Structure 1
Amino acid sequence: MAYVIALPCVDVTDRACVAECPMDCIYEGARSLYIHPGECMDCGGCEVVCPVGAVYYAEDLPSALQEYAPDNGRFFTEVLPGRDAPLGSPGGAAAVGPLNVDTPMIAALPPQSPPEQQRRREPRGGGSCCAGDRHD
């Protein structure tokens, strides 16, 4: 299982998680960010820095957000409107750059208001991302 970015990210896309990710596996869609499940090493660094609490370990998604796990995968495996082939596993988001597409589920959501007060959740396993490594 990998980490998943859920509803609180839609129309916010803070990108703190992108800067923290040692695997460069967080891709930018038009309205949301998506974590590549095959490229994610499950370090949890993205979860720790997300100011809106949008990142969850897939198994820990609240029931109201369960649909975001398969939808996150569809971003990489399906042909989406505005794209003529699945993205697949390009091996890093930086080389691909921002993609101006989203899954149909995200594209169909009404505009989301930015949260009034940004919050952070306790990370899964209490952890730091890379067993004590610092990312200064």
Structure 2
Amino acid sequence: MGEKTRSFIRTDFSRGEAVAGLVWLSLGALLSVLLEIVYLGTWLTLPGGTRIAFPYTIVLAFFFTMVLTRTAKLWTPNPWVAAIPVYVWVAGYLILAFAVGVTGDQLVGSNIRAVLLFVAGITGGVWPLGNGK
């Protein structure tokens, strides 16, 4: 009963499984950045009708990109490869930010919330790479 529980990380996967895992994590990163940008302009209506900005997706971006990178680290010991979902998240952000010239629709606003979202997404994604765990 006094046994310590040890975490077990599976390492008997093929290269194809690792690539598929990283592809799925990258698709999750793309979906994540799209939803975080779409809901970045959320407003919260308080009793009495007062409205305040409620950009909760900034916090979500930090933690979700952190989860993506930590999961990618299970597939590869190489930190540059483990950061692929973060690269995809950043590329998705930049494409959505600068696609206004192509589509005519501005998805990423020109405000501090958009900058904080970008910083939070990158910071959350690289945090596990600097951490030894």
TM-score, normalising length: structure 2: 0.27
Which is strand-richer, 1 or 2?
A: 1
User: Which structure has the larger Rg?
Assistant: 2
TM-score, normalising length: structure 1: 0.27
- The structure whose RCO (Cα within 8 Å, separation 6+) is larger is 1
Which is helix-richer, 1 or 2?
A: 2
